[in-house]
Amino acid sequence: MKILLGVFPIILTVLLIAFYNYSRFGNVLETGLINHNMTPFFKPDFEKYGLFNLKYVPRNIFYQFLNYPFFAKNAIEFFMGGSLFLLSPVFFLVFIPLIIEKKSIDNFILLISIILINIPIVLFMATGYVQFGSRFSMDFIVPLLLLTMKGVKYIPEKVLLLLFLISFFHFLIGFFWFVKFG
């Protein structure tokens, strides 16, 4: 009986998604990919490698975690995404509890959650273009914020304020660039 109670939310979710797909696209297995209006930049790779592929991993890791869009050579590069950490340096605080509280099972579970959620993200054909910032970070925002909050207690308030201001001004500038060129 306990197994049925544990499996029930999963079955209900699958049925609701199937109903949603059928009511929206006329087929329980269709997710809307046939209607996807992808940018021509991604089309050749999509046709060759499909929706998920290891080939996309280096590009997606670069644009999600390393790219600083203000160094972009053109608008396509600028709007491919930006480093979660460089554009929002407050998220560097996630590393503090991972280093200081090495034996914390909570931190380990939060980190594993972020890593597992990132697997399909880095395998996906697109970076989230057109965007400014790390669009797919919303998929793992809860464990990311929890780890960040745990790191806040280890730094002075003035440093935290500075990190927030850097983030704010990055995204303010990104917003105006997005409005002008996006």
Are 64 and 136 in contact, with CB atoms under 8 Å apart?
yes
Q: What is the pLDDT of residue 88?
A: 95
Partners of residue 118 on adjacent β-strands: none
Q: What is the pLDDT of residue 132?
A: 79
Q: Cα separation of 110 and 115, whole Å?
A: 9
Quote the pTM value: 0.80
Q: Cα separation of 178 and 65, whole Å?
A: 20
Are 88 and 170 in contact, with CB atoms under 8 Å apart?
yes
Which residue in this structure is represented by tokens 């919303």? 138
CA angle 83, 103, 97 (to 5 degrees): 35
Q: Cα separation of 65 and 60, whole Å?
A: 8
Q: What is the pLDDT of residue 123?
A: 95
> Where exactly are the structural domains of the chain?
1-35, 37-181
Low-confidence stretches of the chain (pLDDT beneath 50)? none
